[in-house]
């Protein structure tokens, strides 16, 4: 069952989020998005109306970050695979441990197996709206898993070249479709929200890049959860999109992960909720984002 409510006047189900951790993950790449999502409310004046429920999966009962922070896992990867259909969002933080994972067989290593399984689940069952998001260098795992072909993506600035190489390798192994590696804050694929007739009046449109480069039709988010419900595409149309309409977000690093998480709140709950979270966290939300995909 989708996390999106069928009727805007009915209570919205809590969105189920799964964080997939690995040894030597980046602590801030976990804590930033976790803080954003756990603070988000369906109704800003109702502290009991939490929008997201977060669960942590890891290969061991506890996993330690590169900075020494140890986090207790709620489940192992075997259980995560078994219950994968229960989750609406899968988030993979990057960090120093990514390089070690890239040296392993992607068919056997975690969380790469979980990433591929989540993408495959959306392709086989497009009736549910799902989101896959990477923070920082975790997008390299997306590339290795072969799910970025034909899409756009970003990563930590120090790893742009490595992401390009991994995407080209995946293209050679797959159907030769290339990935557009972009030097952006975060990149959203398969966003499914109407732009409106007057683009210049839409607060989610980036009409001109701050650095003066070419204009973009990039969007900064959705109008609201309720409005997106009314315009949701049919299952058949979603199935025609890449990865079965899986919303795939890659972000550039720690602060980019915060921005992408706020985008996710705006897209799945409401823009007001995202603004309130950024206010409470005293964080200046940067909404420059390139969005690729089919608009419906």
What digits encode the pLDDT tens for the residues 76-121?
999 999 999 999 999 999 999 999 999 999 899 999 999 999 999 9
CA atoms of 82 and 195, how far apart (whole Å) = 37
Assess whether pLDDT exceeds 70 at residue 64. Answer: yes
What digits encode the pLDDT tens for the residues 120-170?
999 899 888 899 999 999 999 999 999 999 899 999 999 999 999 999 999
CA atoms of 180 and 250, how far apart (whole Å) = 12
Q: Which burial class, exposed, middle or buried, applies to 55 when counting CB atoms under 10 A from its CB (0-12, 13-18, 19+)?
A: middle
pLDDT of residue 285: 79
What digits encode the pLDDT tens for the residues 227-236?
444 444 456 6
pTM above 0.85, yes or no: no
What digits encode the pLDDT tens for the residues 194-244?
444 454 544 444 443 444 333 333 333 333 334 444 444 456 666 666 776
Q: 189: part of which helix (H) or strand (E)?
A: strand 186-189
CA atoms of 176 and 199, how far apart (whole Å) = 34
Strand 180-181 relative to strand 247-251, pairing = unpaired
């Amino acid at each position: 069952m989708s996390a999106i409510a069928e009727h805007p006047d009915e209570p919205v189900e809590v969105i189920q989020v799964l964080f997939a951790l690995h040894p030597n993950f980046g602590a801030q790449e976990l804590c930033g998005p976790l803080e954003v999502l756990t603070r988000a409310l369906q109704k800003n004046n109702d502290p009991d109306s939490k929008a997201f429920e977060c669960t942590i999966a890891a290969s061991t009962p506890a996993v330690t970050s590169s900075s020494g922070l140890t986090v207790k896992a709620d489940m192992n990867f075997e259980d995560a695979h078994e219950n994968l259909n229960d989750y609406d969002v899968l988030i993979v933080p990057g960090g120093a441990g990514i390089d070690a994972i890239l040296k392993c067989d992607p068919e056997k290593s975690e969380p790469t197996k979980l990433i591929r399984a989540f993408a495959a689940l959306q392709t086989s069952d497009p009736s549910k709206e799902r989101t896959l998001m990477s923070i920082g260098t975790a997008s390299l795992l997306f590339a290795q898993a072969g799910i970025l072909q034909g899409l756009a993506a970003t990563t930590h600035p120090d790893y742009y070249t490595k992401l390009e190489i991994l995407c080209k390798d995946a293209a050679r192994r797959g159907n030769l479709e290339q990935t557009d590696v972009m030097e952006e804050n975060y990149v959203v694929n398969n966003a499914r929200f109407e732009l409106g007739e007057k683009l210049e009046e839409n607060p989610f449109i980036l009409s001109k890049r701050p650095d003066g480069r070419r204009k973009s039709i990039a969007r900064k988010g959705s109008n609201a959860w309720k409005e997106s419900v009314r315009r949701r595409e049919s299952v058949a149309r979603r199935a025609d999109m890449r990865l079965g309409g899986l919303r795939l977000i890659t972000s550039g690093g720690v602060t980019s992960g915060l921005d992408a998480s706020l985008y996710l709140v705006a897209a799945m709950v409401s823009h007001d909720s995202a603004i309130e979270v950024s206010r409470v966290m005293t964080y200046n939300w940067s909404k420059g984002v390139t969005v690729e995909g089919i608009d419906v």
